[in-house]
Amino acid sequence: MDPMQGSIMNPSMSPISGFAFAPGIFVSDHEGEDFLSSLDSDTRDYVIKHTDEFRTRQDIVDCINKLHGKS
């Protein structure tokens, strides 16, 4: 069963995230959406699923670097 079936998405929300990504970390929803769209799909999925673990943009960047084997 498709989990999105029957749900109503707010047209003003991003088709990428469907919610405000990392509120308080990015200046605007648009900035957060731009950041997410710059990531490959696997990294983006991981970051979205773990959003509550990040306090700053640097936390997100550090996580991405670790995912990609960078220090």
Tens of pLDDT, residue by residue over 44-63, are 999 999 988 999 999 999 99
Q: 47: how many CB neighbours lie within 10 A of its CB?
A: 21
pLDDT at 7 over 90: no
Span 4-25, mean pLDDT?
A: 52
pTM: 0.67
What distance in Å separates the CA atoms of residue 36 and residue 43, rounded to the nearest whole number? 9
Chain CA centroid to CA 10, Å: 17
Q: What is the dihedral of CA 29, 30, 35, 40, to 10 degrees?
A: 100
In which region does residue 36 sit, left (phi positive, over 0), alpha (psi from -120 to 50) or beta (all else)?
Answer: alpha
